[in-house]
Amino acid sequence: MLNYDCIGPLRTKLAGLIASAPCVLAAPPTRPYWVTIRAAGLASWVLPSFQISTGLKVEFISRDPEQVAKYKVDPLVHGYGTTLGLYDMLTNGEALLSYRYKEMTKEVPILICHGTADGLTDPKASRDFFDKLPVHDRSYQAYQGFYHELHNEPEADRRKVIDHYIEWIRKHLPSSSS
């Protein structure tokens, strides 16, 4: 979604953007080496649909063991990605941080939230990206000790995140004229 706000054909039509633990960069425990990313890029030219393991550690989904257990048995979760899909995800995140941030739509409000203990996507990269944004109405919320899926953290913490999202959305709704 962050990249869409930079290069999407209808990006100026967005009413707002909430990015929850965005993949600007993979977190250090799961970040592939640059040579692996380049190899995936080369492989994506020849075998774009070839599936490879993402190597993601499921434990970093949530601090709630029940949510992790659900994730492990979810038939839609398979732990694989295509060479092209993974390469695009990783290189588009790097592009956001290095130069594409300049293309963010200044008039589209943005909220970026990240757990400080996220082991899948890098909270520092999210903050670095946020700090570069030329967007007029922007907010960043770090959730101390939270993992990747902020809305699937233990109950009290989950409620705090969801309430924050609802409050931000309400604040950014167009005012009604009577």
Share of the chain above pLDDT 90, in %: 71
- Report the chain's mean pLDDT, rounded to a whole number: 92
Residue 178 lies in a domain: no
> Which residue has better confidence, 28 or 69?
69
pLDDT (tens digit, 9 = 90+) per residue, 64-106?
A: 999 999 999 999 998 898 989 988 988 999 999 999 999 999 9
Averaged pLDDT, 123-149: 96
Q: Name the pTM for this structure.
A: 0.90
Structural domain including 61 reads: 2-171
Res. 39: pLDDT tops 90? no
CA angle, 125 then 130 then 135, to 5°: 155
> Which residue has better confidence, 149 or 37?
149
- String of b and e for 125-149 (b: at least 16 CB within 10 Å)? bbbebbebbebeebebbebeebbbb
Averaged pLDDT, 138-161: 95
Residue 33 lies in a domain: yes
Total count of domains within the chain? 1
**Confidence band (pLDDT; 50, 70, 90) for 178?**
very low
CATH of the domain at 80: 3.40.50.1820
Res. 177: pLDDT tops 80? no
Residue 23 lies in a domain: yes
Residue 118 lies in a domain: yes
Averaged pLDDT, 53-73: 92
Residue 177 lies in a domain: no
Lowest mean pLDDT among 43-57, 65-79, 157-171: 43-57
